[in-house]
Chain A
Amino acid sequence: MIPSRLWALAALVALAVVPWVLARHQLSLLTDLLIAGLFAMSLDLIMGYTGMVSFGHAAYFGLGAYASALVLLHFAQPVPVALLAGALLAGAVAVPVGWFSTRATGIYFAMLTLAFAQFLYTVAYKWRDLTGGSDGIAGVPKTALFWGGPSLTSPHAFYFVVATCVVVSLFVCLAVVRSPFGRALQAIRENERRFTSLGRDPRPFKLVVFVIAAAFAGLAGALFAPFRGFASPEVMFWVFSGQGLMMVIMGGIGTLVGPILGAMLFILIQEVLSSYTEHWMIFTGVVFVLIVIFLPGGLVGTARRLGARA
């Protein structure tokens, strides 16, 4: 079995080298894949590690996108300021939502997160003065990395900003799930009543991880807005939340890396097939079903199982 450190090194090298061999539109697609990967990875924190299936995670991606778009468009701040704003807004909104939603568990938690997300979607849709309504906010600039720096208009420059964010986020999340806090989350996932009788109320743990997950989703959204040049209500719609769940399951729930790969697979299928047919979702559905039935644990879960056997 190849040690995971070697895999990590290979992935880092690939991320650094690949942009120099890819065509412009391919690099743009890879950037898209990474942003979706960050979104799916953040969902895995609550879904895979804590057992909280949120059906409203897109809302935090959207909040990050809007915050980032507004900061870049109206205040012309450097990109990192916009990223921070996106993560902070998403995390801040997740505090009250999480406070209410974590009172429920299972399907009721899922429905509460969905309800709040659709509420936030409606706000984005209706608050024309701030969000541009259904048109969204267009013309979001890729500003500089720091005050007075050159703008990040070259695809390579922005790709490296995104890749760095995704890699750093992955390592932070890996550290979180291995920390005492992360271990407690996994115990909550396994048996909440046992957790309670062992001396702690699970709710504060759930609230904190919900906010962290939202902040990382917000970061993904904050990268999305300048990269695509717009923020619109669609990215907050429940369909995107549902796709997030599919990405996590396809890639491997509870692995962090898996959901990144799952998101990449998902978007790749969409990209490749949508140029041939508008019914690309049928194909995605088939792949999803095949993975769930034949590759339990998703791509990464299956690979680990095979690796452990070898």
Chain B
Amino acid sequence: MTPLLETRELGRAFGALQAVAGVNLAVQPMELRAVIGPNGAGKTTLFHLISGLLAPTSGRVIFRGDDVTALAAPARCRRGISRTFQITSIFPELSVLENVRVAVQLKAGDNFRLLGGRSVLEASEQRARDSLRLLGLIDRADELASTLPHGDQRLLEIAMAVAQEPELLLLDEPTQGLSPEDTVATVGVIRQVARERKLTIILVEHDMDVVFDLADRISVLHFGQLIAEGTAAEVRANADVQKAYLGGLD
């Protein structure tokens, strides 16, 4: 089976700092892959390289068999890669519904309808409501996004990405800043979304426990390099991983 996403010797340097180096990933369709690693391992940089917010200094990104390395973030999104951010990134003074609706509209096109465009608005609103229902936020559709509690804002951001009906969903620390109870709930929602929408998901996580029962496979980054990959059991048993996490480098 050809992988949905591949990275080949992907690397990014910031001056002398090699944030990501020679990373080879292959993520299969409908796989739920977790990328874990201690702070500063290069997880978010890797996400920026895959989503196109950063250009790599070496290597390639292959999506659905096409080399997308040269494409900027908006073009990669339109090809089917949607993402969330580690620090919640929403449209704070728009309604919850409008946050998601705009996400649908931007990907679907017809954005330069300067007058009218009611059909565009209605079609995107329908899909936005579906996504809000899936994420359990439909009751808050008319509230301002900025008034939602932190946990719901994290879910809203996922709703925006899911509403775009991507093939590949990148979640950057979706449980960041959540209470233990909210973390459990969010993990449950992610699992449900993956199943219902048949999505391929790459999830960056700081916390190993979050991903062990969620991910099909786990890739471990350490100082920008991939040091292990496999199922939860394999990764847990890996000596290099134990050293990276327990060696006081966190």
Contact = CB atoms under 8 A, between A and B. Distances in A.
Are chains A and B native binding partners rather than an unrelated pairing?
A: yes
Interface of A: 172, 175-176, 179-184, 186-187, 190-191, 193-201, 204-205, 208, 212
A191 B91 contact: yes
Interface string B88-107: 01111110001001110111
B121 A183 contact: yes
Given A187-B102, A199-B78, A200-B106, 18 more contacts: A175-B116, A176-B115, A179-B113, A179-B116, A180-B105, A181-B111, A181-B112, A181-B117, A187-B94, A190-B94, A191-B89, A193-B53, A194-B89, A197-B51, A199-B164, A201-B74, A205-B111, A208-B112
B99 to A, nearest CB: 8
Nearest 7 pairs of A and B residues by beta carbon? A190-B91, A199-B77, A180-B117, A199-B107, A198-B106, A187-B102, A194-B89
B105 A183 contact: yes
B9 interface: no
Given A179-B116, A183-B121, A186-B94, A197 B83 contact: yes
Nearest to B51: A197
A147 B102 CA distance: 46
Interface of B: 51, 53, 72-74, 77-78, 82-83, 85, 89-94, 98, 101-103, 105-107, 110-117, 120-121, 124, 160, 164
Contacts of A191: 89-92
B102 A198 contact: yes
Nearest to A209: B114
Nearest to B166: A199
Contacts of A198: 74, 77, 82, 102-103, 106-107, 160, 164
A175 B115 contact: yes
B107 to A, nearest CB: 4
B163 to A, nearest CB: 10
Contacts of A179: 113-117
Could you tell me the dominant secondary structure of chain A's interface residues? helix
Contact of A193 (B77, B82, B89, B116): B89
Nearest to A205: B111
11 contacts: A172-B115, A181-B112, A184-B105, A184-B106, A191-B89, A197-B85, A197-B89, A199-B78, A200-B74, A200-B106, A204-B112
Nearest to B91: A190
A187 B97 CA distance: 12
Contacts of A204: 112
Nearest to B89: A194
A180 B120 contact: yes
Contacts of A184: 102, 105-106, 111
A193 B73 CA distance: 10
B144 to A, nearest CB: 11
Given A183-B121, A190-B92, A191-B90, A199 B106 contact: yes
B27 to A, nearest CB: 19
Contacts of B103: 198
A198 B111 CA distance: 13
A153 B37 CA distance: 77
A247 to B, nearest CB: 22
B110 A199 contact: no
B215 to A, nearest CB: 23
B106 A195 contact: yes
Contacts of B115: 172, 175-176, 179
Contacts of A212: 114
B114 A181 contact: yes
Contacts of B110: 180
Given A191-B91, A196-B74, A199-B78, A183 B102 contact: yes
Contacts of A193: 53, 89
A180 B121 contact: yes
A17 to B, nearest CB: 30
Contacts of B120: 180
Contacts of B164: 198-199
A181 B116 CA distance: 10
A234 to B, nearest CB: 33
B77 A190 contact: no
Contacts of B107: 198-199
A187 B78 contact: no
Residue with the greatest number of chain B CB neighbours at <10 A, chosen from A176, A196, A197:
A197
